[in-house]
């Protein structure tokens, strides 16, 4: 998981992420979003909004880490929703998630 969170930090520096629900929703509506990452301890109403957004725009989403861990990896105090803009980065993240689940 540490490797994946470090990768997210690199993706953020490259400008390939959206941080927070509002920015992620705007990217989805603009057709720019490839993947959504959600904190495991996200409030239920936010989780429902993200799931609805992802179904509407046919975007894959995953629960990843706690809000504090996700936020720390991206230079914030806490963070519940992260959008991945670049398709190649989304694919790399999904591959890392699959590898982590098999370990």
H-only helix segments in the chain: 2-13, 21-29, 44-57, 67-73, 87-102
Kind and range of the H or E run holding 83 = strand 81-84
Per-residue model confidence (pLDDT) at position 2 = 82
pTM for the model: 0.92
**Which of 79, 101, 102 has its CA nearest to residue 18?**
79
| Residue pLDDT, tens place only, 67-85 | 999 999 999 999 999 999 9
| Residue pLDDT, tens place only, 2-61 | 888 999 999 999 999 999 999 999 999 999 999 999 999 999 999 999 999 999 999 999
Per-residue model confidence (pLDDT) at position 102 = 66
- Looking at domain 2-102, which of 3.20.20.210, 3.30.1330.30, 3.30.420.40, 3.40.50.720 is its CATH number? 3.30.1330.30
β partners of residue 17: 84
């Amino acid at each position: 998981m540490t490797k994946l969170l470090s990768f997210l930090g690199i993706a953020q520096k490259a400008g390939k992420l959206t941080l927070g629900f509002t920015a992620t929703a705007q990217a989805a509506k603009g057709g720019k979003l490839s993947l959504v990452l959600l904190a495991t301890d996200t409030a239920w109403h936010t989780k429902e909004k993200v799931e609805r957004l992802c179904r509407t725009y046919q975007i894959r989403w995953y629960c990843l880490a706690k809000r504090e861990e996700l936020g720390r990896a991206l230079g914030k105090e806490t963070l519940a929703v992260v959008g991945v803009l670049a398709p190649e980065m989304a694919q790399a993240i999904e591959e890392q998630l699959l590898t982590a689940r098999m370990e």
